[in-house]
Structures are given as structure tokens and as C-alpha cells.
């Protein structure tokens, strides 16, 4: 108790004349507030004191006194007030002095006052004993504190393989790209340790000052699942491979496959393929067939007007895609191929090709046309990041569209939200006048029959629903719009030539190429598309 605030005390003298005695603060203590002193005196039955003189008394730096007039002579006891925090984790008390010869509280009295608020845990007994020795008034003290819970640590899984492999082709010194040397398989041998589970700590509960338990946060528990080609140790904390093959992490689960291997073409002799792992086709995929896999798809030959779909992995076509305006490649990750011709390609990662001709190509990340004479001619290219090519367009003015700055799926959602916000706003504007008319009818003291009352209730519920949806849509739209207009890495890089007939959209700003340009890049700066030399 190093800090002692100033306080006042009532003292009776001859003929029951009462005086208020002011004791100034000690050390860094504070002077008492006038309001608190006045309330204290009023509570004790003294109401006719001189307010101005009381103010002057407690503003002084020295001990002083003020007559309160003739009192009833009845001594009063020491008292306390206390405050229980909203979370019931702390009790703060404040003591007030008795009259000069009044009774003081003992430890049992203080505990009894706390018991009235059901405070029975975390009481500072040492403080109470110290107060008995050195009484300090008009000062806040923490007399009881609860025990906060100790939150535990979540379970954690440690993986012993590359959980995020990146397949990139080898770039030769002469500018060509070797689509045969991809290093695309994450090899695993029989008996290899793949994952280890580290168990967390559940933590300990706390208690508030009323003795009620405060539960700690429930930790996230994990477990290793022994799927196909996998086994667990005895305590189920280590996961091992039972085969030699390929390992990957799919939706937080370890997957080991010995790879679905097709020695030749996917044609009538094989039929459509649907496999929950990786697929390696040593030939080509002929027109009209489908290859759908959970993991990576590697095709050594060409893809004709076929459907190639990888939910989680990459698609590698070493000899290119002759889509014939029907071919479709849809990859959860990257797409790597020799060329893309008259096809649609959707990639959750990047797209890398030698040439792209009259195709619809969309990538969440970059689109790179990396061959030494790599060109993009015709079609629509969309990328969340950059588009880079040797040549874009042609001397014939082939219409070619390049859009960068936002992942295509987000851009589609952005446009969809615009439409839905417009519809919701129109609905709200139609509903508000109806409710306003009914409200006016009610405020005039008129009664609604059951049919109209039910109709009003229905309209009000519909307005609430539309308003909530509009707010949610607007928040999502604003977030996407901010991402669209602040994209920093969106650009189009031309390593050789770009021709008239090419239109470029960066984020939300368009640019039409009217003259041939060479060795340049297009970026968005200060709200417009600018062209700079490489």
C-alpha cells in the first residue's frame, strides 16, 4: 500500500459539535474528489455543511477541518464499497473511514461483505491482513482475482515429403523448353515415414471469483488416416507407405498411389478414365474421350477434342493440344503443354505453353508463352497475374484479348455480384413504399385485418432478408473491387512484337493496341494503362 489517497473523517467534540477533518494524500496519492466527499457526508446524515468551504478544505495541501454543526453524536463504523467486474474475474474495493471513535471492520466483516456478492475464490488474504495494519481510505484496491484459463495447443501433423510440389519444365539455353524433363513425380519408397502426429496440450480451466469454472478453449484434434497403400504404427502417431510410388497431400489427407499407367493411347481400346490419384498416359488422348483424375495427369502425346480434368493436380501435355474448338483442359493447379490450339484451358495455377492459337485460356496465376518463337494469336487470355509472350497478335490484325489483374473465377464472381446487387436494390426500393404506406395507416390509429397484417409481416420479412443479402453482397463486392483496382503484379510483357487488333485489360482499365510495338510491357499506373520499354 505505497499509495495513500487523501481522505476526510468525521469527529464529534464538545456538545456533539461535529467536525470534518481532512487528511492530505501521502506520497503519490491523489486528493479526494469533492463529489465523493459530499456523498460520504450526506450518507452519514450531514447535509447542511458549507459546500464552498468543503471544496477549499480538500483542495489544500495540509491537514485541516471544517465544522459541520451540532450532530446527533452517534458514532458510525468503517465501511467499504466494492465492484465486481462484468466477467467476474476481479473485485475492486474502496474503504471509507469511521467517525473518530467509530468501529472498524475486521477480517471477518470484510469477508462477510464479499460473501454477499458470492465472492469466494481468489480473495487476497495478505491484502486484508495488511489493511488491518495500515488502513488506507478513498483508494481502490483489488481484493480478489479469478484464475484465467490456460489455453492448450492444437494437434499438429509433420509431413516428411513435399506437400506443395511445383512442376516446371526445363528451359534450355537456346530458348526452347523441354516438356519431357519435368521432374514431376514425388517419389516414395515402401516403408518410408510420411507423416508424424504431434499431440497437443488440452490446457487447464480457470475460475472466476465466484468459484465458477471457466473452460479453456477446445483444442483442434487431428488423426492420421491409414488409407490405401498406407499403415500406422501402434500408437497411431506415424504414417508409413506400403508401396513404392507417388505421394501427395489432397484435402489434408496423405495419398499414396502407384500411378494409373496407360501404355498407349486413350481410345476405344481403353475408354474413359476416372481415377482417384495420378494418371500417366504414354500415348495420346483421342477425340471424344475423357480423363478425370484427383491428382496429376501426364500425357506424353497430344490431346485432341477431349476432356482432361484434374481436381487437385497439374496437367502436363508434352506434345500439345489440338482442341478442334471442343477440347477442354481443367486443372486445379498448373497446365504445361507444348502448344494450345482451338481449345479451352482453365488453370488454378499458372499456364505455360510454347504457342497459343485461337483459344480461351484462363489462369489464376500467370500465362507464360515461353518458346523461342512463342506467340499468342487470337482468342481470349485471362490471368490473375501476368501474361508474357514473345509475340501477341499478328500482322493480319487478328482479334486477340488479354485480361490480367484478377483470377478469372474471382472476376466472374465480381460481375455476378454487380448483377445481384442491382436486383436486390430494385427489390428493396419496391418494398419500402409498401411498408411505408402500411405504417402510415397504422399510425393513423386504423386496424389491419388478419389478411393485411399477414401480408405486412411477409413484406417486412422479405425486406429484412433482401437488406441483409445486399449488405453481404456489397461487402464481398467491395473486397473484390479493392483487390481489382489495387493489383500490383498485373502486367503484359512482350519480348518481341505486339500488333494492332490486340486489346488489353488490366484490372478495370482497357487499352487498344493501334500500332505495332516491340520489346515492351503494359502496366496500370495512376488509373490508366501505360506502355514502357523492356
> Band of the pLDDT at 409, cuts 50, 70, 90?
confident
Mean pLDDT, residues 179-193: 64
pLDDT at 389 over 90: yes
Least-confidence region, from 94-98, 125-129, 485-489 = 485-489
pLDDT at 291 over 50: yes
Mean pLDDT, residues 249-253: 82
Q: What is the pLDDT of residues 228-244, one digit of tens each?
A: 899 999 999 999 999 87
The candidate with the shortest Cα–Cα distance to 88, out of 226, 212, 183, 262, is 212
Cα within 13 Å of Cα(470), Cβ side: 15
CA separation for the pair 251, 225 (Å, rounded): 12
CA separation for the pair 41, 50 (Å, rounded): 12
The candidate with the shortest Cα–Cα distance to 207, out of 119, 141, 124, 142, is 119
As beta bridge partners, residue 65 has 21
> Band of the pLDDT at 186, cuts 50, 70, 90?
low
Distances (CA, A) of 118 to 21, 194, 211, 304, 336: 35, 55, 9, 79, 70
Largest CA distance in the chain: 122
Which is more confident, 252 or 165? 252
CA separation for the pair 515, 502 (Å, rounded): 10
In degrees and rounded to multiples of 5, residue 76 shows phi and psi of: -125, 160
pLDDT at 279 over 70: yes
Long-range contacts from 466-474, C-beta under 8 angstroms, 24+ separation:
466/424, 466/427, 466/428, 466/431, 467/428, 469/424, 470/421, 470/424, 470/425, 470/428, 473/417, 473/420, 473/421, 473/424, 474/421
In degrees and rounded to multiples of 5, residue 367 shows phi and psi of: -120, 115
As beta bridge partners, residue 494 has 389, 520
Strands 79-84 and 90-96: antiparallel
pLDDT at 412 over 80: no
Residue 177: per-residue pLDDT? 63
CA separation for the pair 397, 377 (Å, rounded): 10
Share of the chain above pLDDT 70, in %: 93
Mean pLDDT, residues 310-338: 94
Alpha helices (runs of H) in 19-140, residue ranges in sequence order: 34-43, 51-59, 107-116, 125-133
Q: Which three cell numbers stand for residue 499?
A: 500488333
Specify the pTM.
0.49
Consecutive H or E run containing 325: strand 321-331
Residue 178: per-residue pLDDT? 58
Report the chain's mean pLDDT, rounded to a whole number.
Answer: 88
Cβ pair 382, 366 in contact under 8 A: no
Cβ pair 54, 40 in contact under 8 A: no
Q: What is the pLDDT of residues 147-182, one digit of tens each?
A: 999 999 999 999 998 887 655 566 677 766 655 444
Q: Which three cell numbers stand for residue 219?
A: 483444442
445-457 per-residue burial string, b: 16 or more CB within 10 A, e: under 16: eeeeeeeeeeebe
Least-confidence region, from 146-155, 337-346, 365-374 = 365-374
CA 80-85-90 angle, to 5 degrees, is: 75
CA separation for the pair 19, 45 (Å, rounded): 13
> Band of the pLDDT at 5, cuts 50, 70, 90?
confident
Cβ pair 168, 352 in contact under 8 A: yes
The candidate with the shortest Cα–Cα distance to 491, out of 370, 367, 408, is 367
CA 242-243-247 angle, to 5 degrees, is: 100
CB atoms within 10 A of CB 283: 17
Residue 484: per-residue pLDDT? 61
> Band of the pLDDT at 407, cuts 50, 70, 90?
low
> Band of the pLDDT at 340, cuts 50, 70, 90?
very high
pLDDT at 255 over 70: yes
CA separation for the pair 95, 105 (Å, rounded): 10
> Band of the pLDDT at 222, cuts 50, 70, 90?
very high
Q: What is the pLDDT of residues 460-481, one digit of tens each?
A: 899 899 999 888 888 887 776 6
Q: What is the pLDDT of residues 199-220, one digit of tens each?
A: 999 999 999 999 999 999 889 9
Beta carbons within 8 Å of 46's beta carbon, 6+ residues apart: 10, 18, 20, 68, 69, 71
- Crossing angle for the helix pair 450-485 and 408-443, nearest 10 degrees? 150
Amino acid at each position: 500500500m505505497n499509495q495513500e489517497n487523501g481522505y476526510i473523517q468525521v469527529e464529534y467534540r464538545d456538545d456533539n459539535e461535529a467536525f470534518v477533518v481532512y487528511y492530505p494524500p501521502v506520497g503519490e496519492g491523489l486528493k479526494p474528489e469533492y463529489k465523493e466527499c459530499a456523498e460520504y457526508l450526506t450518507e452519514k446524515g450531514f447535509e447542511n455543511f458549507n459546500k464552498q468551504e468543503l471544496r477549499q478544505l480538500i483542495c489544500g495541501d495540509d491537514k485541516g477541518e471544517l465544522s459541520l454543526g451540532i450532530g446527533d453524536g452517534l458514532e458510525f463504523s468503517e465501511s467499504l464499497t466494492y465492484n465486481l467486474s462484468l466477467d467476474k474475474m476481479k473485485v475492486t474495493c474502496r474503504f471509507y473511514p469511521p467517525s473518530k471513535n467509530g468501529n472498524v471492520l475486521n477480517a471477518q466483516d470484510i469477508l462477510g461483505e464479499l460473501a454477499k456478492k458470492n465472492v469466494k475464490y481468489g480473495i487476497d488474504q495478505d491484502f486484508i491482513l495488511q489493511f488491518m495494519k495500515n488502513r488506507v481510505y478513498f483508494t481502490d484496491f483489488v481484493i480478489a482475482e479469478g484464475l484465467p484459463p490456460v489455453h492448450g495447443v492444437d494437434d499438429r501433423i509433420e509431413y516428411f515429403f513435399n506437400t506443395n510440389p511445383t512442376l516446371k519444365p526445363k528451359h534450355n539455353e537456346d530458348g526452347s523448353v523441354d516438356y519431357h524433363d519435368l521432374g514431376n513425380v514425388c517419389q516414395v519408397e515402401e516403408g518410408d515415414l510420411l507423416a508424424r502426429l504431434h499431440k497437443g496440450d488440452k490446457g487447464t480451466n480457470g475460475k472466476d471469483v465466484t468459484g465458477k469454472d471457466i473452460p479453456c478453449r477446445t483444442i483442434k484434434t487431428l488423426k492420421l488416416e491409414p488409407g490405401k497403400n498406407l499403415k500406422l504404427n501402434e500408437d497411431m502417431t506415424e504414417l508409413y507407405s506400403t508401396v513404392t510410388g507417388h505421394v501427395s497431400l489432397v484435402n489434408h489427407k496423405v495419398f499414396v498411389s502407384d500411378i494409373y499407367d496407360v501404355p498407349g493411347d486413350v481410345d476405344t481400346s481403353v475408354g474413359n478414365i476416372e481415377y482417384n490419384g495420378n494418371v500417366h498416359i504414354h500415348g495420346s488422348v483421342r477425340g471424344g474421350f475423357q480423363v478425370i483424375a484427383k491428382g496429376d495427369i501426364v500425357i506424353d502425346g497430344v490431346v485432341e477434342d477431349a476432356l482432361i480434368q484434374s481436381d487437385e493436380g497439374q496437367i502436363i501435355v508434352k506434345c500439345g493440344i489440338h482442341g478442334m474448338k471442343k477440347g477442354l483442359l481443367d486443372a486445379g493447379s498448373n497446365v504445361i503443354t507444348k502448344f494450345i490450339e482451338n481449345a479451352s484451358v482453365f488453370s488454378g495455377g499458372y499456364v505455360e505453353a510454347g504457342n497459343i492459337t485461337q483459344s480461351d485460356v484462363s489462369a489464376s496465376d500467370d500465362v507464360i508463352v515461353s518458346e523461342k518463337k512463342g506467340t499468342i494469336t487470337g482468342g481470349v487470355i485471362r490471368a490473375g497475374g501476368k501474361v508474357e509472350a514473345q509475340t501477341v497478335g499478328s500482322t493480319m490484325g487478328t482479334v486477340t484479348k488479354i485480361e490480367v489483374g484478377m483470377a478469372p473465377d474471382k472476376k466472374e464472381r465480381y460481375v455476378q455480384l454487380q448483377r445481384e446487387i442491382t436486383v436486390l436494390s430494385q427489390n428493396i426500393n419496391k418494398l419500402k413504399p409498401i411498408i411505408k404506406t402500411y405504417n402510415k395507416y397504422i399510425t393513423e390509429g386504423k386496424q389491419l385485418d388478419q389478411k393485411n397484417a399477414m401480408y405486412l409481416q411477409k413484406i417486412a420479412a422479405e425486406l429484412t432478408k433482401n437488406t441483409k443479402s445486399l449488405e453481404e453482397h456489397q461487402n464481398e463486392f467491395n473486397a473484390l473491387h479493392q483487390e481489382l483496382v489495387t493489383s500490383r503484379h498485373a502486367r503484359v510483357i512482350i519480348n518481341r512484337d505486339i500488333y494492332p487488333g490486340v486489346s488489353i485489360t488490366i484490372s478495370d482499365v482497357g487499352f487498344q493496341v493501334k500500332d505495332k510495338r516491340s520489346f515492351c510491357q503494359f502496366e496500370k499506373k495512376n488509373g490508366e494503362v501505360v506502355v514502357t520499354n523492356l
